[in-house]
Amino acid sequence: MEKLSGYIENVIYHNEQNNFTVMELDCGGNLVTVTGSFPTLNPGEYITVKGAWSEHPSFGVQLKAHSFKVEIPETVAGMEKYLASGLITGIGEKKARLLVERFKEDVLDIIRYNPDRLTEVEGIGKKTASMISESFNEHREVMDIIMFLGEYGISSSMAMRVYKVYRDNTISVIKENPYKLIRDVPGIGFKLADEIAMSMGVEQFSPFRVMAGIKHMLQSCYNDGNMYMEEEELVYKSASVLDISEDLAYDNVEDLVLQGDIKLETIEDKRVYYTIPLFKAEESVAEMTVRISRHRYENEIINVDKIISSYERQNDIELDEAQKNAVKAAVENGVVIITGGPGTGKTTIIKCILEIFQQLDYDIALAAPTGRAAKRMSEATGFEAKTIHRMLEFGYSENEAEQTFDKNEENPLEYDVVIVDEASMIDILLMNHLLKAIRLGTRLILVGDINQLPSVGPGNVLKDIIDSNQVSLVVLNKIFRQAQESMIVVNAHKINNGEMPMVNDKEKDFYFINCNTGEKVRKTILDICTHRLKNYNGYDFFEDIQVVTPMKKGAAGINELNKLLQLNLNPPSPDKEERTFMSTVYREGDKVMQIKNNYNIEWLDLNTQEEGQGVFNGDIGIIKKINQQGKNATVIFDDDKQVIYSFEQMDELILSYAITVHKSQGSEFKVVVMPVFQGPRMLLNRNLLYTAITRGKELVVLVGHRTYLKAMIENINTVMRKTGLRDRIRAHAIMED
């Protein structure tokens, strides 16, 4: 085994996916080629590598590195080279020289431990001094973490992600409990965390490992939207993932219950287990739902009928009985749910309710679960609507590990009325935060469409609250005249009733193109998006059309469709910069979607030059520029907000030529194109088809085979979620009576 130390002279090749690197190392004047797995390193850094010599047929003698260590340079010349390498924010070649001249071999210690002294150098003020010191320390920390995790086979890009979560606590958190990584770091599953734990000496049958495995298994019910897991399933699955006996798994499940780490409940005579956060949320939503719904409201003496009549006159419509009841229920009750399909007048009613409460001079807040839904609500009502998160003043705790809501039971929302649209998308955790922030006396009006897909997160909250029969409910069934002219609306209701849609009527807005192979489906979708819709009505792919699909994988899944559409609608070109991230190519001109709520990222409104913060899950935009040197990408969202993503933040974006139906929830598009083709039965269901087509405003085009269309309409059994909310609300109601 050879051991060499030297300065990196040049990084010839670096693959960000697998870290394979070829570099030249200056070892006391000799240039040596070194290959191996390295994180992103920069010329000027001083490293020690251990490895073996090999002879490459074309490149000659090289050192194949097995391990490496990033060293702090020891000579003054080395320190200057290191500081001048551009690694440390605030130091270029000139400042590196001045710093070394002033502090000699103490320069790095001074940067690290005594940054105030840096101001002794000309051109360095207090601010620059602390920036230099912070950047230096962060770099050292990151390198330590990359090396520490590298020993367990974790790539440097994954290590960077771990660092982003835990910062300078990374090593201590992992040493204390490597299983925490599963919950906190996207991309790390039980298997990887378990490997790290085992190689740190955790034993196969130790309660620590077994309990971590069981908790992980129980958490996995989040992914299916379930609130709990039945005993048999939990024991069986835990035993198999941990490779232990079911008896041992069962004993540990019992211990976890005794320790208060998981909750045992009996539902329909079955023993079931909840994670503590989900149990608490369900219990608290049940209790608060009953409390709010039982509260007596002091109604101002107003004549609702009179206001409705004047609204009807002004808007030249006549509300039907159910609509009038909805308006009255909203005025009279503490909490009311208004549900109905497209075109049944939900927006019309929200506007009428707004009018009434405005006349009473009430403080009103409008909110929706996603940014796009909030934007639509604002446009439709002329009132500002926020995301629920923003309304509740969402943030992160100091160490960024926990989500916090500044609006809560101690500091409730100070509105008289809160109206929430797209309420079917609210999961149990968000509903818990929302209800906590509603003080007694504030009316809560939940508007939604119960036939859409339930929330992505756990629970089937709106449906459970409705089914509990404890909350005032208005169901809107009638489709109104204008809406009747749209086959999208008519077909949505047909599908909901289990009937086949009517398609391909001339002059209408609902088409079905028959294709019987996956290849034909793909080719047809491509043809529609590149030519046919443009010729049909001048529709522009990037402005007007959205491909939605049930699946991620397979011929008609987002992965394949994104590749195909990207290649044809935004092909590679020497004029367009690209960057590959997690094996996806991102190119200037690409259509992308933000996939998590980021409340801190800054935007600039290109129309008004106004600046602000926050990009939300589901926001869609175009990559305008990729700046390789600045390591960032500029995205312009469809509301003309410009956002700059550092390369590290690009895991918040996915290509969005095609998106899943789940991601399309809460958004609307002029044209929706959807493959109706084979896929997992679980995904081919009625709610999903209904949700997809109701995203289309002007035109829906389905591409595929009628067998699958029929199968989707008939498949209504897949959205049964395991939840206890309905019965829990009923139990609380009985206690209150």
Residue 428 beta carbon to ligand ATP: minimum distance, rounded to whole angstroms: 24
- Please identify, using beta-carbon distances, which residue of 161 and 324 lies nearer to ligand ATP: 324
Residue type, 389: H
Burial pattern 369-380, b for ≥16 Cβ within 10 A else e, equals bbbbbbbbbeeb
Q: Which amino acid is residue 270, in one-letter code? A: K
Positive or negative, the Cα torsion across 30, 35, 36, 39? positive
C-beta of residue 431 within 8 angstroms of C-beta of residue 323: no
Minimal distance, residue 384 CB to ligand ATP, in Å: 18
On whether 189 is known to bind a ligand per the annotation, the reply is: no
| Contact call for residue 484 and ligand ATP (CB under 6 A) | no
- Options 50-58, 450-458, 480-488, 670-678: segment touching ligand ATP (CB under 6 A): 480-488
Cβ proximity to ligand ATP, 265 vs 320, nearer residue: 320
Nearer to ligand ATP (CB atom), residue 483 or residue 725: 483
According to DSSP, the residues that pair with 443 across neighbouring strands are 417
Question: Binding to ligand ATP (CB under 6 A): which residues in 347-376?
Answer: 347-348
Minimum Å distance from CB 568 to ligand ATP?
Answer: 32
Helix (H) or strand (E) holding 579: strand 578-581
User: How many angstroms separate the CA atoms of 201 and 195, rounded?
Assistant: 10
User: According to the annotation, is 524 in a ligand binding site?
Assistant: no
Q: How far apart are CA 142 and CA 135, in angstroms?
A: 10
In the numeric block, the tokens 């919950």 are attached to 183
- Distances from the Cα of 486 to the Cα of 23, 100, 343, 513, 538, angstroms: 63, 74, 9, 19, 20
What DSSP string runs through 504-516?
--TT-SEEEEE--
CB of 488 to ligand ATP, least distance (A): 9
**Shortest Cβ distance from residue 459 to ligand ATP (Å)?**
23
Strand partners, 541: none
Cα→Cα distances 243→182, 213, 255, 610, Å: 18, 10, 19, 57
Residue 584 CB neighbours (<10 A): 16
Query: Vertex 590, ends 584 and 593: CA angle to 5°?
Result: 80
Alpha-carbon span 229 to 249, nearest angstrom: 14
Q: How far is it, in rounded angstroms, from Cα 320 to Cα 311?
A: 13
Q: Which span (49-57, 182-190, 259-267, 474-482) binds ligand ATP, by CB under 6 A?
A: 474-482
In the complex with ligand ATP, the residue whose CB is nearer, 250 or 480, is 480
Going by C-alpha positions, the residue among 649, 645, 603 that lies closest to residue 623 is 645
Report in angstroms how near the CB of residue 348 gets to ligand ATP at its nearest: 3
**Smallest separation (angstroms) from ligand ATP to the CB of 388:** 19
Provide the minimum distance between the beta carbon of 548 and ligand ATP in the complex, in angstroms, as a whole number: 17
Size of the site for ligand ATP (CB under 6 A): 17
Q: Report the number of secondary-structure helices (H) and strands (E) in the chain.
A: 29, 30
Cα–Cα distance, 419 to 28 (Å, whole number): 71
C-alpha distances out from residue 147 to 38, 56, 67, 194, Å:
9, 27, 9, 19
One-letter amino acid of 640: D
Structure tokens belonging to residue 174: 């992992």
Question: Given the complex with ligand ATP, which of 442 and 452 has the nearer CB atom?
Answer: 452
d(CA 550, CA 545): 17
Q: Which of 258, 240, 241, 218 is nearest to 722 (CA)?
A: 218
Could you tell me the strand order of the sheet in which 658-660 lies?
Answer: 510-514, 696-704, 669-676, 545-549, 658-660
488 binds ligand ATP (CB under 6 A): no
> Closest approach of Cβ 422 to ligand ATP, in Å?
9
On whether the CB atoms of residues 268 and 727 are closer than 8 A, the answer is no
150: amino acid identity, one letter: G
Residue placing its CB nearer to ligand ATP in the complex, 318 or 519:
318
Using the minimum distance from each CB to ligand ATP, give the nearer residue, 152 or 480: 480
- For residue 260, say whether it is annotated as part of any ligand binding site: no
Q: How far apart are CA 548 and CA 546, in angstroms?
A: 6
Asked if residue 347 belongs to a known ligand binding site, the reply is: yes
Stretch that binds ligand ATP, among 478-486, 558-566, 671-679, 711-719 (CB under 6 A): 478-486
Determine the straight-line distance between the first and last CA of the chain, rounded to whole angstroms. Answer: 79
| Nearest-approach distance from CB 674 to ligand ATP, in angstroms | 18
d(CA 211, CA 628): 45
Build a one-symbol-per-residue string for 400-439: x at contacts with ligand ATP by CB under 6 A, - elsewhere.
Answer: ----------------------------------------
- CB of 9 or CB of 320, closer to ligand ATP: 320
Give the nearer residue to ligand ATP in terms of CB position, either 311 or 677. 311
Nearest to ligand ATP of 670, 706 (CB atom): 670
Q: Residue 283 or residue 449: which is nearer to ligand ATP going by CB?
A: 449
Within positions 289 to 348, which residues make up the interface with ligand ATP, using CB under 6 A? 317-320, 323, 340, 342-348
The answer to whether the annotation marks 387 as part of a ligand binding site is no
- Please report whether residue 482 would count as binding ligand ATP according to CB under 6 A: yes
Closest distance between ligand ATP and the C-beta of residue 390, in Å?
A: 22
Candidates 236, 250, 362, 480; binder of ligand ATP (CB under 6 A) is: 480
Instruction: Tell me phi and psi for residue 559, to 5 degrees.
Output: -60, -50
What is the identity of the amino acid at 351? K
- Looking at beta carbons only, is 290 or 489 nearer to ligand ATP? 489
**Cβ 535 to ligand ATP, closest distance in Å?**
27
Nearer to ligand ATP, 136 or 690 (CB): 690
Nearest distance in Å: CB 42, ligand ATP: 53
Binding region:
343-347
Contact footprint for ligand ATP (CB under 6 A):
317-320, 323, 340, 342-348, 480-483
Binding region for ATP:
343-347
